[in-house]
Structure 1
Amino acid sequence: MAELHLEISRVKIDYQLKETRLKEDTKSYIKQFSPLNLIKDFLNPQSLRKLDEKTNLSGSIMSLILPMFLNKTIFRSSGLITKALAALVSGKVGKSLDVESLTGLFSKAKSLFSSFTSKRKKADVNFVDYGIPPDSETY
């Protein structure tokens, strides 16, 4: 009789352990397919580069956006033929752009602007005027 009660308690404990393990596995499985986790999985830089290598999505987008941008800004007051030629050339250039070239251009532009602002800040910091004229003996 004692062995039977011992076996029943062992089965109950085993059942409870399996239940908690199943709950934990279910939570981790559901968390795996949450919208935030899916966004993290599919919209990271590595997956976007792989997608772009297969489909050249960035080139297609740039071939559409670049002609519109140029016609609205640089060639605003140009004639129809000039706008058409600019759209043709910029569309071809946009198709040839890929993720690496776009990120390279972006990083160069960012470094150019950051170096310009850092030089300007350094120039402002180095000059301190205490109100003493340069030809003074205390200068």
Structure 2
Amino acid sequence: MKKKSRRYNINNLEELHAMVNSLKAEHQVKGDLLLEDSKSYLKQFTLGGLIKKYATPSAFLKIDDKLNISSSIMSMVLPFLMNTTLFKGSGFLTKTLVGLASNKVGKTLDAEHLSAIFNSVKSWFSTSKKKKEQNLPQYVDYGIPPDSETY
């Protein structure tokens, strides 16, 4: 692959400094664009991006109408999750009762319920960020120039 080289017509020191500054600015702009593009590319491979892409009700319902995969998975995962996190130090009888109850709850959860739960939890976090941004004090311009004697 042949590397493309640039030819510049520089006649004096001022033109050289101007060209160096313009090349530095161009380098900075291209670096920022590359960073922004790479962040957006990597964002699609995060857990939230994958869930947003594949865990939609329509995607689950196509398979879920016949097989009911989501409720089967939740009926197995939910008892395990509850016993290992919330009821970690509980006795055998408590863990058994929690397992049976969460098994029944897991069977009733289908793709629409899971997607609604995920969207509601996601909205809690996204609205808190927006509220924090809105509460920042805004700069008020009173029309007094910074060079005036009233500063």
Shorter-chain TM-score category? 0.5 to 0.7
Query: Which consecutive segments of 4 or more residues in structure 1 shift more than 6 A?
Result: none
State the alpha-carbon separation in 2 of the partners of residues 44 and 100 from structure 1: 10
Higher RCO, Cα 8 Å, sep 6+: 2
1:22-64 deviations in Å (ceiling 9; x for gaps): xxxxxxxxxxxxxxxxxxxxx7954531210111100000011
Q: Which residue of 2 aligns with 1:38?
A: none
What does residue 89 of structure 1 align with? 101
Corresponding position: 1:126 with 2:128 = no
TM-score (norm 2): 0.51
TM-score by length of 1: 0.55
Cα distance in 1 for residues equivalent to 2:74 and 2:112:
13
Return the structure number with greater helix share.
1
* Structure 1 portions without partners, runs of 5+: 1-42, 129-137
Greater C-alpha Rg: 1
Tell me how many residue pairs correspond in the alignment.
86
Q: In angstroms, what is the RMSD of aligned CA positions?
A: 2.3
CA shift, 1:120, in A, is 2.2
Q: Which of residues 112, 137, 140 is equivalent to 1:100? A: 112
List gaps (5 residues or longer) in structure 2: 1-53, 140-149
Structure 2 counterpart of 1:56, from 55, 64, 68: 68
Q: Percent identity?
A: 42
